[in-house]
Amino acid sequence: MAGRLDGPAEVDVAAHSSAIVARLMSDQSRYEFVSVAEAARRLKLSVSMVKRRIHDGLLEAEAVSRPQGIEYHVQVPRLQSAPTTAAPDSEEAPPPMTNQQDVSSALTMRMLDTLDAVLRANGETMERQADTIARLSDQAAMWRTRTQEAGARADRAELERAAAETERDYLKAQLDQARRRPWWRRLW
């Protein structure tokens, strides 16, 4: 039948699904959610610095509602216990630095990724702003030219108006002078 999955194809799909689930489970098992104070202790930061990094988006956290208010649980890499190879009568060995280094490198990578995204976004914003500035600069030059042309036209119109006013005054004076003469003198 067309469209029907036979045995081997179903096994492949099931194997693929289980591989995806196993990968997701292994990713989840690398991290755990702890209180802000515990995250500060593990990351060797102050509580206020952890809160600031949560606010800035550098650390992932879940807000948990409590009767006393909201409490944050911070996602940090899970501490892995190192196998003890020391003899029972020897002193306790200092904890390995790999966990702290893993946490620091994970935080550094997350911060670099965030900064890279911010820089890319700022670059795009600056390009858009530069385009807008160039366009507005061109428009300002166009309007400046139009304003100068309109000013020149206004000056010409003012000169023409003054000339017309002078001619009107001259003609009016001529008419007044002609009216003051007696009628019989106007004939010749």
Entry field: residues in the chain = 188
In whole numbers, what is the pLDDT of the chain averaged over residues? 78
Assign 136 a pLDDT band (cuts: 50, 70, 90): very high
69-77 and 61-66 beta bridge pairing: antiparallel
Assign 19 a pLDDT band (cuts: 50, 70, 90): low
β-bridge partners, 70: 65
pTM recorded for the entire structure: 0.34
- Please write the tens of the pLDDT for every residue from 23-81: 545 555 677 889 999 989 988 889 999 899 888 888 888 888 888 888 888 888 877 65
Asked if residue 49 lies in contact with residue 56, where contact means CB atoms within 8 angstroms, the answer is no
Q: Could you give the domains of the chain?
A: 16-78 (1.10.10)
- Please write the tens of the pLDDT for every residue from 78-106: 776 544 444 445 455 555 545 666 777 88
* 19-23, 120-124, 132-136, 182-186: segment of lowest average pLDDT: 19-23
Structure tokens that stand for 38 in this block: 């515990």
Three-state secondary structure call for residue 92 = coil
